[in-house]
Amino acid sequence: MTEKITMMQQEIFSEPEALKRTAKACRAMQGKIREEFAKRNITKIITMSRGSSDNASTVFSFVCPLYSGKLVGKYHPSLTTVYGADVDLSSTCMVIVSQSGMSKDTVAVMEDAKARGALTIGVTNDENSTVAKGCDIHLFLDVDEEKSVAATKTYIAEIIALYLLTECVGKEVDMCVDKIIAKIPSVLALNDDIAAVAKDLHERNNFIILSRGTMLGSGDECSLKLTECCYIFNRSYSAANFMHGPLSLLAEGANVIMFAPDGKFNDEFISMAKRIREAGADLTAFTDIPEIEGLANRSIKMPHGCDKCAPVLYGVAASLLALNIGKAKGLNVDAPRNLKKVTVTL
């Protein structure tokens, strides 16, 4: 009997072609972004988002300062929607990241930010959404409607859009977006290997997910995907913050997933992998660091990616892991219980 292909899987595998449209649509707006930044003398950049979009914003908050030199902060929606805070948004660009562009809190914050003089940039997958039509500038993801509840292709598209925004706020910044997109098929080719890992893990619960630096957003995204699609309790940590208290969780029987790309944190990742094994915990590693492959109970050898490439590649792998664990558990990954595509919050 032929296995049914889920919408979630179709959407993940559509990414290499869909993201080319994302890049084209966003590049068309780069001139206007540069013009508005100069005209309004923008000195501050903040993001407003929730869920997977907030994880994409976390990647942006690392990558934009690293490559453009411009700091990025996060704006908490409840400052506007609940507290009614009188916030000075002059000389500020608010980047509103929302795949639907329709949730009430997102719209309320956008309208308030515009009234306070902020330049508003919306990043959405719906040209007709309230955010798309209401923002000063719209970065259209253009990846077709995402029918599965979990954000997969839109999460990666948001990162690509935010990378192209990064090119606009710094001098001579090249985020190599086309090269990054071209590497995604090498991760999709690992799906069978990831499915085998998923069969080993699908009956387990209580995972610790470790990442670091620009990877933190995709570590958080892995955590969210395992929660919503697989109903697994877990927690994502920066490997550095994990040392400040949560290290006490390491013990025999603990389950750890590590996102460890080759780069500036190699020594830290290797040291952590050794501590995990010494504690008797179980380690699943997504990595291209040979020493960690040798220490892990199971590993997925990832394609090499730099600080800006790795969040995308490991973000795709996170979606594939959740897809395959959910399928191994016999769950409907396209429509997890209690969830809707557009979430209404304050």
Level-2 CATH architecture, domain 183-328: 3-Layer(aba) Sandwich (3.40)
pLDDT beyond 50 at 52? yes
Break the chain into its structural domains and give their ranges: 7-175, 183-328
Q: If pLDDT is split at 50, 70 and 90, which confidence band does 170 have?
A: confident
Length of the chain: 346
User: Is there a common fold for 7-175 and 183-328?
Assistant: yes
Task: Note the pLDDT of residue 343.
Answer: 59
Task: Note the pLDDT of residue 295.
Answer: 97
- 206 φ/ψ angles, rounded to the nearest 5 degrees: 60, 70
pLDDT beyond 60 at 80? yes
What integer best gives the mean pLDDT of the chain?
Answer: 94
Helices 310-328/177-188 angle, 10° precision: 30
Residue 14 is which amino acid? S
Task: Note the pLDDT of residue 1.
Answer: 43
The matching CATH number, chosen from 1.20.140.160, 1.10.150.130, 3.40.50.10490, 3.90.190.20, for 7-175 is 3.40.50.10490
Neighbouring C-alpha atoms within 13 Å toward the C-beta of 47: 26
Task: Note the pLDDT of residue 248.
Answer: 83
Average pLDDT for 143-160:
95
Higher pLDDT among residues 105 and 340, named by residue: 105
Quick check: helix, strand or coil at residue 284? strand
pLDDT beyond 80 at 346? no
The string of pLDDT tens digits covering residues 34-49 is: 999 999 999 999 999 9
CA distance 221 to 107: 23
Task: Note the pLDDT of residue 4.
Answer: 78
Task: Note the pLDDT of residue 103.
Answer: 87
What DSSP element (H or E) covers 144?
none
Q: In what order do the strands lie in the sheet with 92-97?
A: 72-74, 44-49, 92-97, 119-124, 137-140
Residue 261 is which amino acid? P
Residue 41: both structure tokens together: 């003398």
Higher pLDDT among residues 102 and 177, named by residue: 177
Q: Within its chain, how far is the Cα of 286 from the centroid?
A: 16
